[in-house]
Chain A
Amino acid sequence: MAQEIDVSLVNVTKKFGDLIAVDNVSFDVPKGSFFSILGPSGSGKTTILRMIAGFEVPTSGDIYIGGERMNDVPPNKRPCNMVFQRLALFPMMNVLDNVMYGLRRRGGMSKEEMVRRAEEALERVGLAGLGKRRIHQLSGGQQQRVALARSLVLEPTVLLLDEPLASLDLKLRQAMRLELKHLQERLGTTFVYITHDQTVAIAMSDTIAVINKGHIEQIAPPEELYRRPATHFVASFVGENNILAEGTLVRLVDDQVGEVDVGGVLMVGRLGEPLSPGEKVDLFVRPEMILLQLGKHTPGILGKVAEIDFDGSHSLVVVQLLESKRPLSINVKVQHTEQAPDVHVGNVVTLSWNWVAANVFRHQPLQGI
C-alpha cells in the first residue's frame, strides 16, 4: 500500500523581486512523520514553511495538504497550524484563553466543551492546572508548551514548527527536543520542523530535507544523511567532518570507491558523485570514524599528536600529518573506553579508516556556514 502523503510540494518556486528565495522545490511528507527542513539562515526554509502555512503565495508550483491543493486557501482555512519562532503567544490573554483561541474561532462548540478540550491539551503538554496563569508568569519551556498546546488543540493535519527551540538554553533545548519527539510519536500528527541546528534535526526527524540557497540538496533519513551525504554542501553542513580539501583523485578502486592524493598522502573514500581520475576533489571524514593506533602501522597515515581536547566521554585528538607536503591535520574523536589507546601530545600515531567512513566530492570553495 502506498504511503499516505500529508504535505506535498510540487515544483514550488518563490521569488521576492529578483531574489529567488525558493527554487523549484518538491517533496512529500508522509502522514505521521517528523519531517525536518534543515538549512543555514537565508536558505529559504522559513519561506517554505510560510508558504505551507499560507502566509506567502508561491510564484509558481503547487502545495497540497492532505491531498488538497492549498494555493488559493487563506491561512485561517488551512488544516495546518504553526508554532512560531518567537511563539507569538497572546500576552493579553491567560494560558487557557490562548489555547482556546482557535476553538473559539472555529465555533460550533459549547463553552464547556472548549474549556474541556483546552485543559486536555494543556494536560497533554504537562501544564495541567496552569490555565489561569498569565503568559509572562511562565518560564521559557512552559511558554513553548503553551504554544504547542494552542496549535495541537485544533488537531491539525500538519503541525508546522519554526525553530521554536532556538530561543531556549542548551539544557532546556535538549529536554524539549526529546519531549517534542515523544509528543509527536504519541499523537501521530505530521510535524514539519524547520531548523538551522543539525543536531536537533538529526535527533528528532524521520526524514530531513537539507536546503541551501533555495534548492534541496538531499532528502533522506538522518542516518543516511550523516553517512552518505549526497552533495558537497550536505557533507560540510551536517555533522562534524574533517575536510581535506583540494586533493586529486588518483584512481577508482571500483565504481564506488576512489583513492585521493591530498598533499602527497593517499586516502580512500566513497565517491559522493560520479568523478574521474585527475579531478580536483575534497575528502570528508568523520572524526569518530577514524581508527587511531599508537606507533607506526601499515597501511595507514602517519602523524604526530599536536593537541588533545578532553571532553568528558571522549577526547578530540588533533593529529598533524607527518608525510604530507603541506601542513595538514586531522581531528580524531577517541572514545574513552578501557581499550582506548593512551595518547599524549607528541606521540607518533597511525590513522586509518574504512572507505565508507569518508566521502569524496568535486572540490568547491567552502561556504561560510
Chain B
Amino acid sequence: MPTGLKRRASLWLLLLPMLMWIGFLFVLPHIKLFLLSFQDRYTGAFTLKNYATFFTNPLYRGVFTHTVVYSVLATLITLAIAFPAAFVVTKVLDERAKALVVIAIILPYWVSELIQAFTWMVIFRETGILSYLLRTLGITSHNIEFLYHNWTVIVGLVYTSLLFMVIPIINSLETLDDSLIEASYDLGGNFWSTMREIVIPHSAPGIMVGSIMVFMLVLGNYVTVTLLGGKNSFWFTENIYDQFIVRFNQHQGAAFSVILLTFSVLFVWTVLKITKQDITEAM
C-alpha cells in the first residue's frame, strides 16, 4: 500500500470510534426520528399531521415560545454572572487565587445535574432551608413554597450552565494582552469604555461559544426544569417526554423533537449571522 494511502487509512482508523459513536447514537436515531415524524401513528403512511398538531394547537406553541424566551433569558443571566467572574479570574487574581476560584467553579459539577436539582429542592421547598431561615428570622410568619416558579427554574438552569459559559470566556480573556487594557486607560479610557471597546470585543468569540452551549443545554434541559418547575415549568422537552412515554405517541414526539432541533439550529445560525461571528472562528 502506498504510504500516503496508508497514512490516510490510519487517520480514518483513529476517527472511527468517534464516527461510529456519532453514526449509531446520533445520526441513525435522528434519521429514524425524522422518518417517524412524517408517519401516521396507526397506518404508517406519510402525513404532515404531526406537524400540523404543533402549529394548530396554541398550547404547544405557547409552551414552545415560553421555552425559547426563558432559555434566552437564562442564557443572558448566565452571561451576566459568568463574564465578570471570568474577568476577575483572568485579569485581577494572582495565579494561586485563580486556581482556587476555578476549582470552586468546577467543583459543583462533580455531582450530577440530578443531585444539583435535588439540592435546590432542599433549599427552595416549603419546608426547606430558605423558608425556614425567613421564618426563624421573623421575616415571614409561615412557610413559603419557593419551588415551581419560573424564576426557580431559571436559578437552577443558570446554576447548571455557569461552567459552560465561564470556561470559554476565561479562555478568550487569557489571550487578551494586559497592556491593551493599560493602553486604553493611558489614552483616557475608563472602566466602562475599556470594557465596551477592548475587553468585550476581544472576548466575543468566547462569549459566543459559551452562549451557544448554554442556550442549547438549557433549551434541551429536562431534569432541572421538571424537578424545580414541576407542572408549572411549561418546558417543551416535557411535551416531547409526554408524547413518547405517557401518551405512547412516538410519531408526535418525533415531530416535536425535529421542530426543537431545527429551531435551535436556525436560532443559533441567525444569532451568529446578526453578530457577524464565524462559527469556525468562534469554536
A residues sitting closer than 8 Å to B (CB atoms) are 53-55, 74-77, 81-82, 84-86, 88-93, 101-102, 105-106, 150-151, 154
Residue among B183, B190, B193, B198 with most chain A CB within 10 A: B183
Q: How far is the CA of A102 from the CA of B179 in the complex (A)?
A: 15
CB of B177 within 8 A of CB of A88, answer yes
Q: Does B201 touch A at the CB level, under 8 Å? A: yes
Query: Which parts of B164-198 form the interface with A (CB within 8 Å)?
Result: 177, 179-180, 182-190, 193, 197-198
Q: Does B202 touch A at the CB level, under 8 Å? A: yes
Minimum CB–CB distance for B182 against chain A, Å: 6
Q: In the complex, which of the residues B179, B187, B197, B201 contacts A154, with contact meaning CB atoms closer than 8 Å?
A: B187
Minimum CB–CB distance for B94 against chain A, Å: 12
CB of A92 within 8 A of CB of B186, answer no
CB of A90 within 8 A of CB of B197, answer yes
CB of B182 within 8 A of CB of A106, answer no
Q: In the complex, which of the residues A55, A85, A92, A150 contacts B187, with contact meaning CB atoms closer than 8 Å?
A: A150
Return chain B residues, CB-CB under 8 Å to A54.
186
Q: A84-B183, A86-B179, A105-B193 are in contact. Are A92 and B198 (CB under 8 A)?
A: yes
Return chain A residues, CB-CB under 8 Å to B189.
76, 101, 105
Return chain B residues, CB-CB under 8 Å to A82.
182-183, 186
Q: A105-B187, A105-B193 are in contact. Are A88 and B201 (CB under 8 A)?
A: no
Q: A76-B190, A105-B189 are in contact. Are A92 and B179 (CB under 8 A)?
A: no
Q: A92-B201, A92-B202 are in contact. Are A86 and B186 (CB under 8 A)?
A: no
Return chain B residues, CB-CB under 8 Å to A93.
197
CB of A74 within 8 A of CB of B187, answer no
Closest to A84 in B: B179
Query: 19 A–B contact pairs at CB < 8 A?
Result: A75-B182, A75-B186, A76-B186, A76-B189, A76-B190, A81-B187, A82-B183, A82-B186, A84-B182, A84-B183, A88-B179, A88-B182, A92-B197, A92-B201, A93-B197, A101-B187, A105-B187, A105-B189, A105-B190
Closest to B180 in A: A88
Besides A90-B180, A105-B188, A151-B187, 4 more A-B contacts (Cβ < 8 Å) are A53-B186, A74-B185, A84-B183, A88-B183
Q: How far is the CA of A91 from the CA of B197 in the complex (A)?
A: 11
Minimum CB–CB distance for A118 against chain B, Å: 12
Q: In the complex, which of the residues A55, A90, A154 contacts B182, with contact meaning CB atoms closer than 8 Å?
A: A55
Q: Which 9 residue pairs of A and B lie closest in terms of their CB atoms, listed nearest first?
A: A105-B188, A102-B187, A88-B183, A88-B179, A92-B201, A75-B185, A76-B185, A84-B179, A82-B186
Return chain A residues, CB-CB under 8 Å to B182.
55, 75, 82, 84, 88
Number of interface residues of B (CB under 8 A): 17
CB of A106 within 8 A of CB of B188, answer yes
Q: A88-B180, A90-B180 are in contact. Are A154 and B188 (CB under 8 A)?
A: yes
Residue among A54, A88, A101 with most chain B CB within 10 A: A88
Q: How far is the CA of A54 from the CA of B188 in the complex (A)?
A: 12
CB of B180 within 8 A of CB of A102, answer no
Minimum CB–CB distance for B189 against chain A, Å: 5
Closest to B179 in A: A88
Q: In the complex, which of the residues A75, A86, A92 contacts B177, with contact meaning CB atoms closer than 8 Å?
A: A86
Return chain A residues, CB-CB under 8 Å to B188.
76-77, 102, 105-106, 154
Return chain B residues, CB-CB under 8 Å to A102.
187-188
Return chain B residues, CB-CB under 8 Å to A77.
188
Q: In the complex, which of the residues A81, A89, A91, A106 contacts B186, with contact meaning CB atoms closer than 8 Å?
A: A81
Query: Which parts of B33-66 form the interface with A (CB within 8 Å)?
Result: none
Minimum CB–CB distance for A17 against chain B, Å: 12
Return chain A residues, CB-CB under 8 Å to B202.
91-92
Return chain A residues, CB-CB under 8 Å to B193.
105
Return chain B residues, CB-CB under 8 Å to A105.
187-190, 193
Minimum CB–CB distance for A113 against chain B, Å: 16
Minimum CB–CB distance for B192 against chain A, Å: 11
Closest to A80 in B: B186
Q: How far is the CA of A54 from the CA of B180 in the complex (A)?
A: 15
Closest to A93 in B: B197
Return chain B residues, CB-CB under 8 Å to A86.
177, 179
Closest to A147 in B: B183
Return chain B residues, CB-CB under 8 Å to A151.
186-187
Return chain B residues, CB-CB under 8 Å to A154.
187-188
Q: How far is the CA of A53 from the CA of B184 in the complex (A)?
A: 12
Return chain A residues, CB-CB under 8 Å to B177.
86, 88
Return chain B residues, CB-CB under 8 Å to A150.
187
Closest to A81 in B: B186
Closest to B204 in A: A92
Closest to B193 in A: A105
Minimum CB–CB distance for B176 against chain A, Å: 10
Minimum CB–CB distance for A114 against chain B, Å: 13
